[in-house]
Amino acid sequence: MNRSISHALFERAKKVMPGGVNSPVRAFKSVGMNPPFIARGYGSHIWDVDGNEYIDYVNSWGPLILGHAHPAVVDAIKRQLELGTSYGAATEIEVKMAELVCELVSSVEIIRMVNSGTEATMSAIRLARGYTGRNKIVKFAGCYHGHSDSLLIRAGSGATTFGVPDSKGVPGDMAKDTLICKYNDVAMLKDIFEKYGSEIAGVIVEPVAGNMGTVLPHMDFLRALRDLTGKYGALLIFDEVMTGFRVSLNCAQGLYGIKPDLTTFGKIIGGGLPVGAYGGREEIMRYISPDGPVYQAGTLSGNPLAMAAGYATLTLLKDNPEIYHELANKAEYLKKNFCEIAKENDIDIKINNVGSMMTVFFNDVDVVDYETALKSRTDMYAAYFKEMLEQGIYMPPSQFETFFISTEHSYEDLDKTIEAFKLAMETLRRY
Ligand code: PMP
């Protein structure tokens, strides 16, 4: 593929932007190549500035469950656009959005909109601390909750890719209040609570991890999270920025039947525009200003364009719940074929997925936590990624990420992807 215009843009970008990008993984560093610059997207496809076409499995890292430029979402944005883009004042669409999320997610009685997943988790942590009067939080190695200071520790995703799980600039004092536990490790979680239980404000967890690649929660782990937080008076925070409205219409908490105290959202609830949100039990959420003493605000929070896009997306999902079944079927179709092809070529892969969120790990052990994820062959992933990209299949440029199937991926798209996978596996035989 010729990507000369992208290359030229990247050279210009590097002169004026750190790494030439506005978010690290976009620089394609871990796969050792220059990134294509994207000009447009429609349905399941994107086109770069050189005119190359790709079937897109990144989907803006999860928000685009309805694919690119879905007519229902575009229409909703257009209608709002004509009325103005932001007022910094209360609007009806915010109320409708809040009502809809509260209706679909039973643990959420009250919700506050913010502008990103990072803001959502940062605010939820502040709320947990303000509500409980305690400082310590528990997070899990390999889970990513955005880049706020107290959460940027053993954070998976881009941080894993670049081998800097503890960012410079985070004061040591911050890190000391973040206790790190292994994902799916009930015994370790119990130990942490036995030692620090009365100091723990909350436990934040990706109920299906997506930022060390996709890692499924064990049911006893989720139950232990609920039981231990309840027993010690700590809040259970489900970070559903990625899983919210992705793994089911009632999010991961609906799928697994576990009710957290607080939930954070992002991605899908913005329909492709910048949004985050946090919500939960009324008694806790009333601590937020102006009702309560925990301060949190935002110039563009509840932005009407973002609310319109998110509301259109959630409404479409709610009115067509069979979508989740169809997405799961498509995921199983890819998974089955990928596994067969890898086996034929004698290549060890492990595929983890919950519905339409999925990772192909180049690994010979089951991936159940950060440690096992890190055993993956990143060199093989990079080679696979390049082969796929050359054949017009756009996968995440890192082993430690999740890919997503949208409603717009057709079986023809999936068959093309499977064909590309076949060629990629034949190439990988030499590894
Ligand atoms: N939490 C989770 C689970 C995420 O996957 C992400 C982003 N990938 C975030 C928080 C941060 O969201 P944002 O990038 O919108 O700040």
Q: For the chain, what are the domain ranges?
A: 4-69+321-428, 71-319
Alpha carbon of 340 to ligand 1 centroid (Å): 32
CB of 256 within 6 A of ligand 1: the answer is no
Residue 421 is given by DSSP the state H
pTM of the predicted model as reported, rounded to 2 decimal places: 0.97
Which secondary structure element, helix H or strand E, spans residue 6, and what is its range?
helix 4-16
The answer to whether 80 and 74 are in contact (CB under 8 A) is no
**Test site for ligand 1: of 151, 204, 242, 264, most ligand atoms within 8 A of the Cβ:** 242
Q: Which is the catalytic residue, given 54, 144, 183, 311? A: 144
Q: Is 231 a catalytic residue?
A: no
Smallest CA separation from ligand 1 atom 1, residue: 145
219-232 and 186-196 helices, crossing angle to 10°: 10
Q: Which is the catalytic residue, given 136, 267, 350, 386? A: 267
Q: Is 267 a catalytic residue?
A: yes
Alpha carbon of 212 to ligand 1 centroid (Å): 12
Does the structural domain 4-69+321-428 have CATH classification 3.90.1150.10?
Answer: yes
| Residue type (1 letter), 61 | W
Q: List the chain pLDDT tens, one digit each, 431 residues.
A: 999 999 999 999 999 999 999 999 999 998 999 999 999 999 999 999 999 999 999 999 999 999 999 999 999 999 999 999 999 999 999 999 999 999 999 999 999 999 999 999 999 999 999 999 999 999 999 999 999 988 987 766 555 444 344 688 888 777 889 999 999 999 999 999 999 999 999 999 999 999 999 999 999 999 999 999 999 999 999 999 999 999 999 999 999 999 999 999 999 999 999 999 999 999 999 999 999 999 999 999 999 999 999 999 999 999 999 999 999 999 999 999 999 999 999 999 999 999 999 999 999 999 999 999 999 999 999 999 999 999 999 999 999 999 999 999 999 999 999 999 999 999 998 77
Q: For position 171, what pLDDT does the model report?
A: 81
CB of 240 within 6 A of ligand 1: the answer is no
Looking up tokens 């290359």 gives 7
Q: Is 157 left (phi over 0), alpha (psi -120 to 50) or beta?
A: left
Class of domain 71-319: alpha beta
Smallest CA separation from ligand 1 atom 10, residue: 145
Helical ranges in 219-303 per DSSP H = 219-232, 251-256, 282-285
Q: Is 278 a catalytic residue?
A: no
CB of 241 within 6 A of ligand 1: the answer is yes
Extract the tokens encoding 215: 């890692």
The yes/no answer to whether this complex scores an ipTM above 0.95 is yes
Q: Which atom of ligand 1 is nearest to the CA of 119?
A: 16
Contact partners, residue 240, CB within 8 Å, separation at least 6: 207, 251, 252, 253, 263, 264, 265
Q: Which is the catalytic residue, given 185, 239, 369, 413? A: 239
Q: Which atom of ligand 1 is nearest to the CA of 276?
A: 15
Q: Do domains 4-69+321-428 and 71-319 have the same CATH topology?
A: no
